[in-house]
Amino acid sequence: MKKNDLSTLQITKELVKLKSITPNDAGCQSLIIEILKKLNFKFEVICKNGVTNLWAIRGLSPPLFAFAGHTDVVPTGNISEWATDPFTPTEDNGFLYGRGTADMKGSIAAFLVAIIEFIKDNPDHNGSIALIITSDEEGPANDGTKLICEFLEKKNIFLDYCIVGEPTSEKILGDTYKNGRRGSLSGNLTVKGIQGHVAYPHLANNPIHSIAPALLEITNTNWDNGNEYFPKTTFQISNIHAGNGATNIIPGEINIEFNFRFSTESTPELLQKRINSILDKHHLKYNINWLLNGNPFLTKSGKLTKAISESIYEELGIIGNMSTSGGTSDGRFITKISKEIIEFGPCNATIHKVNEHVKISDLDMLKNIYKKTLAKLLI
């Protein structure tokens, strides 16, 4: 890209043009390297199982400030439902349309321009600046940010501050930023019965009937009361399947998929133990396969939360709400190598949807907030 093309809007457009459907980076990180290489950044590209990861760092002195994000996007769905081609960035009525505009290529563009402008204004700033970029956030996330964090830990590199550019704003830019996320624990429960004919129920054991009282107890259980940072832990059933479609057969088993979103007041081990206890109490023959998607993480108020909140107020004139709501994010990996983490980015109303878009004016304001935060921590 030419020097005069290095605006937040133009970089966002260039990134959106690249069809980086997870886990394909599609050249996004090469574009990032091209933009940063004249600023004395050092680069490490880590590739595994079709995933591309980038660690970029400028400087060696503390404190170490990092921006983190992902270049991969979710699939477009039915393109015919889009008003414009999802990979042709289109301006309309003050908005930029395209897959990834909000989640999260707009944030990456804002990172880059904030860094460029900050270094230009403060060539002798304190500390160091880094980026953690992956193409495996929207997918399984096994070979993405997690891999970079393991790489950095082995090199004994730890962050002081990290901003993850997830789209956290809800109604207007700056109204919400996140200082943590709940944990996610999934379970796949199979309850065994005895298959038989519906006309002879005494010769069978219907697992749907057997599990019903236990499910009622589970869904009515108060798992914890949350705390000042997290709401109560929640349990939700996402799928139930039993039988083969015939109306005259009692099924031999039932499969139930469920998920906990849990606070720091609970642990995966405790939740598993409590589920097993309820199922055992109801004398069920069952098996559960567990998957821990991520533990909760939390940054308590510190220099980074103060800097981001002040920057939001200075740029937008609003006081942002600090929250731990929403799904999991790559912050769950970064928390192992960073003292403080904040997630902050554009409005999330259209992420993962048809006609995803971002307000064009928000892009520069987001950049300014990132730049102000850098200045508060590195000058």
List, for residues 152-174, the tens digit of each pLDDT value: 999 999 999 999 999 999 999 99
- 137 an active-site residue? yes
Q: Which residue(s) pair with 312 in the sheet?
A: none
The pLDDT assigned to 54 comes to 98
Spans of all domains in the chain: 3-181+296-378, 183-294
For the cut 90, the answer to whether the pLDDT of residue 4 exceeds it is no
CA dihedral 195, 201, 205, 208 (to 10 degrees): 90
- 91 an active-site residue? no
In percent, the amount of the chain with pLDDT more than 90 equals 96
Q: Which residue of the set 14, 72, 160, 330 is catalytic?
A: 72
Q: Which residue of the set 14, 25, 136, 137 is catalytic?
A: 137
Whether domain 3-181+296-378 has CATH 3.40.630.10: yes
Q: Which residue(s) pair with 259 in the sheet?
A: 186, 236
Band the pLDDT of 3: cuts 50, 70, 90. low
The pLDDT assigned to 2 comes to 67
Q: What is the pLDDT of residues 87-128, one digit of tens each?
A: 999 999 999 999 999 999 999 999 999 999 999 999 999 999
Task: Report the binding-site residues.
Answer: 70, 103, 138, 166, 352
Band the pLDDT of 225: cuts 50, 70, 90. very high
Band the pLDDT of 72: cuts 50, 70, 90. very high
H-helix or E-strand spanning residue 252: none
Q: What is the pLDDT of residues 200-221, one digit of tens each?
A: 999 999 999 999 999 999 999 9
Mean pLDDT of all residues in 58-78: 97
Q: What is the pLDDT of residues 259-304, one digit of tens each?
A: 999 999 999 999 999 999 999 999 999 999 999 999 999 988 899 9
The answer to whether 342 and 178 are in contact (CB under 8 A) is yes
* Cis amide linkage into residue 23, ω under 30° from 0: yes
Strands 128-134, 51-58: pairing kind: antiparallel
Tell me if residue 364 falls in helix, strand or coil.
helix
Q: Could you write out the three-class secondary structure of 285-330?
A: CEEEEEEEEECCEECCCCHHHHHHHHHHHHHHCCCCEEECCCCCCC
Using the Cα atoms of residue 369, residue 371, residue 372 and residue 377 in order, give the sign of their dihedral.
positive
Band the pLDDT of 327: cuts 50, 70, 90. confident
The pLDDT assigned to 242 comes to 97
Question: Taking the domain 183-294, which CATH number applies?
Answer: 3.30.70.360
For the cut 80, the answer to whether the pLDDT of residue 82 exceeds it is yes
Task: Report the binding-site residues for Zn(2+).
Answer: 70, 103, 138, 166, 352
Mean pLDDT of all residues in 47-73: 97
Instruction: Determine the angle formed by the axes of helices 207-219 and 268-281, rounding to 10 degrees.
Output: 130
